[in-house]
Each structure stands twice: as C-alpha cells, then as structure tokens.
Amino acid sequence: MKLSTHLAFGVGVAGLLASLAECDIVCWMLALIISLSINLVIDLIGHRARLFHPPVRTKITHSLPGIIAISMLVTFIASRGLLLADSNPLFLYGIGLASGLSHWLLDALNPSGVYLFRRKFRLAKIPYYSFVANMVFQMIGGAMLLYSILILPR
C-alpha cells in the first residue's frame, strides 16, 4: 500500500486504541504522533526505490522482528522527546506495536508480501498502486479515527 494509506490506517488504529483505553487528549495525541512516526520511519528506511515500479521492501523493516524493534525504538524516542514520560509507558509501547503491525499487515496484502520467520508471507495479491484498495483502507482508517474522536473521554 501507499504511504498515505499506511499513515491513515495506522493513525486510525492508534486513535481507536487510545480512545478505547480511555486516554486523555494528551495521551491520544501522543498515540497519533507515535503512529505517524513509526509508519514514516518504516517507509523511509524500508524501501529501495525503482524507476517506474513499486518500491522494493527491505527485510529489516518488513520482517516481524524488524517491525517490533522499529516500533519500540520510535515509541521510546517519541515519548521521551516529547517529555511526556508520565504517560503510561506500557500503553504507549502497545500503541507503537499496534501501529507497526498495522503497517506490516497492510504490506502483507501486496504481491511482494512481507517476511515472516525468514520466509515471504502474503495474505493477498492486491497491487501496490490499486486506487480502490488504497482508498478503502484510507477510509477505514479515517472511520476509526472519527469514531475514536467521538468516544474520546471528555
């Protein structure tokens, strides 16, 4: 999937989890920042660009151990960098892990798949540039985010 799809879906997942856990607004916004950061890092360091072709995924950022490591590292840096260490750290790491796994799951839907225990793994063969698939997952992410705003504790 495209970066915009990863960002929209990841933010939706993070926002929904934060709202369901009854986070305050600061914790909710931190969850969104962490999700955006994780998805950006995975895409920026995890693809080798090719002219006129979808980017090629690297094993480091598109394997299960790599996703977990990147998610934990980015969550640590983001939570400390924003000086919000008083937020529940286990919850923030859970949000980070869920955001990273959502990226991994969406990439598992593409023909090139992801890496699971050193083997290629894919759930479907949805083309990377599929407008319909990208829009559907962006709308799902947007719906999750909207719902998370509606149920956010006041």
- The string of pLDDT tens digits covering residues 30-52 is 899 999 999 999 988 876 666 66
Per-residue confidence (pLDDT) for residue 87, from 0 to 100: 60
Residue 54 has a pLDDT of 63
The confidence score (pLDDT) of residue 130 equals 93
- CB of 147 closer than 8 Å to CB of 16: yes
Q: What percent of the chain has pLDDT over 90?
A: 53
Q: In whole angstroms, how large is the CA radius of gyration of the chain?
A: 15
CA–CA separation, 123 and 47 (whole Å): 20
Domain ranges of the chain: 3-47+58-151
Write down the pTM of the prediction.
0.88
Ranges of residues in the chain with a pLDDT under 70 are: 47-57, 81-88
- E strand or H helix that includes residue 114: strand 114-116
**Angle at the Cα of 142 (from 19 to 64), degrees rounded to 5?**
75
Whether 26 and 33 have beta carbons less than 8 Å apart is answered as no
Tell how far CA 38 is from the center of its chain.
Answer: 6
